Amino acid sequence: MPSRGAENGTNASRTDCRIADLVLQNLMLSNDDVIRSMTISDVGRYLLHVDRSGGAAACWPWMRYRRPSGYGMLMITGRRKRAVRASRVAYYLANDALPTGLEICHSCDRPECCNPAHLFAGSHLDNMRDAQRKGRMRKPPILVGARNPRATLTEDMVRTMRAELAAGLSIAEIAAKHGLNYSPVVYACTWRTWKHVL
């Protein structure tokens, strides 16, 4: 006959295993599963934090916490507490479904918008193509020479310094004469930078 202590130890380890299984299941849940398990309280909090005052055609901005990227976040407080994107919640409440493996894209290009009329499901590639088509994927211009706000030289200074180097002055003498550090002068005079200046 097993002792009382051994029986308690077995029950304790079973309880620990159940707790570990529940924690693991919660970690393995996707955000979409968490959205599908929202409570009435979660839906009510969501509706309180969306500004729908602009009307049906206007953007409905999320009025609570937003990530630095601009996307609104809602904390689902049901059995599985987790922060999810407010736009995904809006799409789910309007369509009663979430597309598996797809993103919720904004036709208005405002990440804080929760108006279901402005949301559509698409792949990441669809989202990137939409952004490119609307001109939001342009690379910033490369600022060369004096147009670069960090430039310490001008085109005329570079021409003068190169002429002085050709006339026999050393890089250190040129830098001292112009009141500059050694590095930008040596880079400009040896054509490592300012290559566009002839």
CB 8: neighbour CB atoms within 10 A?
10
Tokens 């295993």, located at residue: 17
Fold for domain 31-133? Homing Intron 3 (I-Ppo) Encoded Endonuclease; Chain A (3.90.75)
Domain segments of the chain: what residues?
A: 31-133, 145-189
Torsion of CA 77, 79, 81, 83, to 10 degrees: -70
Q: Which pLDDT tens digit goes with each residue over 116-138?
A: 999 999 999 999 998 888 888 77
In percent, how much of the chain has pLDDT > 90? 55
> Residue 19 above 80 pLDDT?
no
Confidence of residue 23 (pLDDT cuts 50, 70, 90): low
Nearest CA-CA partner of 86 in 94, 173, 196: 94
85 - beta bridge partners? 73
Contacts of 125-130 with CB under 8 Å at 24 or more apart are: 127/103, 130/105
pTM of the prediction? 0.57
Length of the chain, in residues: 198
CA 16/CA 20 separation, integer angstroms = 6
